[in-house]
Structure 1
Amino acid sequence: MVWVNLFHFSSWLLRGVFGLSLLAACNLQVSPALSPPVMASGNEVPLRLDRVTKAPTLNFPSPSELNKAAELELSMRLSGYQALGMAVFLPGSPATDYQRLAQLFKAIHAQSHILNDEIFPVLVEKDEFQAYTLGGKEVVFYTGLVRRLTDDALSFVIAHEIAHIAAGHVGETQSRNVINAIDYSDPRMLGDFYSVSNEQEADHLAILYMARAGLDISVAANLWGELAAREDQKQYDIFTASHPSMKDRAAYLDALSREFNDKINQFDQSRLLDCNPIYCN
């Protein structure tokens, strides 16, 4: 799909060229990251490779740093939930809602770019339509979302959140905030670009993961279409206003899903994580 391939290229180009120009203006140097990535000196930042696209990306924090920060933040959040009387369900919980979530999560995780990473779902007893990741090993879901969705629809949300982790979006956002802090121009343009592009990439990868799991990928467009039709849709908007509207999201996911299904058999099924109808490394 030419447009999507160009999208990934332009996304990488803007991240790389614009980010490098900002860093150069502030007397910082960018150096290729070693494996594992390290800071070469006080004024150099590691240039890491995106785990999905294999392209260079300015992602300052290392995976271990992200995991530590996410673990600390999640610990504080879970304590806050519990202080408010909300139940928190973790791996090993016999709760029916958690068992269902964990089973669907495991199936999607096994088809992702990070199938060998240790990640798991956390379920919070909260009647809100919400799911999020802090970029570490956990993805948080509220019961208000889990109980409202069918298995396929919930699998898409799971795949979307796992995609955020696989593509390093939390680290990219933190890096973007650093760049904004040292940039003299208006940071909102770069911020909006990252939010929209990250959401689109997560949607694209979610469709791929669902297809590899043998699930119906049309559920992605159906989910957003149904939510867009609700009069009280704001309470079901998982993402912020800077992201594509529900109606627009449903339309592009419908077109993407149809093209994906039409072309999927033209690709090597054993290499779909690297080459598929959405992108090809």
Structure 2
Amino acid sequence: MAACATSPTGRSQLMLVSPNQAVKASASAYPEKLKKYAEEGKLNTKPKMLERVKRITGQLIVEAEKMYPEAKQWDWEVAVIDEPDTVNAWSMAGGKMAIYTGLIEKVKPTDDELAQVMAHEISHALANHVAEQMSVAMASQIGLAVLSATALKDNRYRSAALTGAALAATLAVSLPYSRAAEREADKIGIEIAARAGFDPYAAASLWKKMTKVNKGAPPEFLNTHPAAASREKTLLELAPKMMKYYHPNEHHLRYRFH
């Protein structure tokens, strides 16, 4: 009964919510999620840090849009949330992202390493992982029978699904991605970062730092990944394959955020 789709790497996905629906829902949910931080005086309060994140993310976006032309239609946004104890980052559909100051201040990533974090988040959006997570959330709340592919053809059910879409988009951010989705984001992200001029080997060095900061436990935004040793091994295997895309002196364009 469930709708199916295929990810950029060929993985089958549960897709009760279309990518376009996820983008629209996230456009509504994103400012609402950030509103709390703004009211607490925690949103974009560190100009230099925000500028650095935007500069690095902007370079990644240029390459992401080349690889996935549909993303050129997105209204990209990135925020820095001032929570020094939170080592985390997240993304919604349509290029809506945020990173916490705790990740930057505790991990102290190089530009190459910070690029791996943001490329990973960008990749979740490109691979429609948010729409996939929304589908899981909505299925659990409303029921597969109501949100089945057949039911969605009926305007009455489509309307009901969209009513809860913004809520599902918000919930999707808090739900852990599957290991398959996380591996997929790693694979796509490391290539985007390499094409944008960031060292592919920084993915593994980032993981070492993250693990050390979290005293061996997986950091929050990677909590569904395989064990540290396994993940580091996978990233090190991917890195040399990405070197053909890595030309650090050729990618210094800044993307103008909307």
Q: Same fold (TM over 0.5)?
A: yes
Alignment pair present for 1:129 and 2:87: yes
1:108 — aligned with what?
60
Deviation at 1:68, TM superposition (A): 3.0
Deviation at 1:247, TM superposition (A): 2.8
1:254 — aligned with what?
236
2:183 — aligned with what?
200
Are the equivalent residues in 2 in contact too, given 1:129–1:142 (CA < 8 A)?
yes
2: CA distance between counterparts of 1:56 and 1:248? 23
1: CA distance between counterparts of 2:215 and 2:31? 32
Deviation at 1:129, TM superposition (A): 1.3
1: CA distance between counterparts of 2:234 and 2:12? 27
Partner SS, residue 63 of structure 2: coil
Structure number with greater Rg is 1
Give the 5 Å matches for 1:6-25: 23=1
TM-score normalised by length of structure 2: 0.68
Give the AA of the match of 2:130. V
Alignment pair present for 1:140 and 2:133: no
Are the equivalent residues in 1 in contact too, given 2:75–2:94 (CA < 8 A)?
no
Are the equivalent residues in 2 in contact too, given 1:105–1:120 (CA < 8 A)?
no
2: CA distance between counterparts of 1:196 and 1:103? 29
1:86 — aligned with what?
42
C-alpha RMSD over aligned residues:
3.0
2: CA distance between counterparts of 1:56 and 1:238? 23
Task: Tell me the alpha carbon deviations over residues 245-264 of structure 1, each in whole angstroms, 9 at most, x when there is no partner.
Answer: 23321121112213443xx4
Alignment pair present for 1:245 and 2:227: yes
Decide whether aligned partners of structure 1 residues 233 and 81 sit closer, same or farther in structure 2, where only a CA change above 3 A counts: farther
Partner SS, residue 178 of structure 2: helix
RCO (CA 8 Å, sep 6+): is it higher in 1 or 2? Answer: 2
2: CA distance between counterparts of 1:145 and 1:60? 33
Are the equivalent residues in 1 in contact too, given 2:218–2:228 (CA < 8 A)?
no
Give the AA of the match of 1:157. V
Partner SS, residue 22 of structure 2: helix
Q: Which runs of 5+ in 1 are unaligned?
A: 1-22, 29-44, 184-191, 266-281
TM-score normalised by length of structure 1: 0.63
1:153 — aligned with what?
113
2: CA distance between counterparts of 1:133 and 1:231? 21
Partner SS, residue 110 of structure 1: helix
2: CA distance between counterparts of 1:55 and 1:177? 19
Deviation at 1:96, TM superposition (A): 1.1
Deviation at 1:172, TM superposition (A): 1.1
Are the equivalent residues in 2 in contact too, given 1:225–1:247 (CA < 8 A)?
no
Q: Which runs of 5+ in 2 are unaligned?
A: 146-174, 246-258
1:166 — aligned with what?
126
Decide whether aligned partners of structure 1 residues 96 and 193 sit closer, same or farther in structure 2, where only a CA change above 3 A counts: closer
1:73 — aligned with what?
29
2: CA distance between counterparts of 1:57 and 1:236? 25
Deviation at 1:63, TM superposition (A): 3.4
Q: Which one of the candidate residues 23, 37, 49 is aligned to 1:97?
A: 49
Q: Which one of the candidate residues 209, 223, 228 is aligned to 2:211?
A: 228
Deviation at 1:108, TM superposition (A): 0.6
1: CA distance between counterparts of 2:87 and 2:191? 24
Task: Tell me the alpha carbon deviations over residues 145-183 of structure 1, each in whole angstroms, 9 at most, x when there is no partner.
Answer: 234221111000010000000000011122234556549
Are the equivalent residues in 1 in contact too, given 2:34–2:43 (CA < 8 A)?
no
1:188 — aligned with what?
none
Give the AA of the match of 1:78. L
2: CA distance between counterparts of 1:231 and 1:145? 11
Deviation at 1:232, TM superposition (A): 2.8
Are the equivalent residues in 1 in contact too, given 2:43–2:79 (CA < 8 A)?
no
Q: Which one of the candidate residues 165, 189, 210 is aligned to 2:193?
A: 210
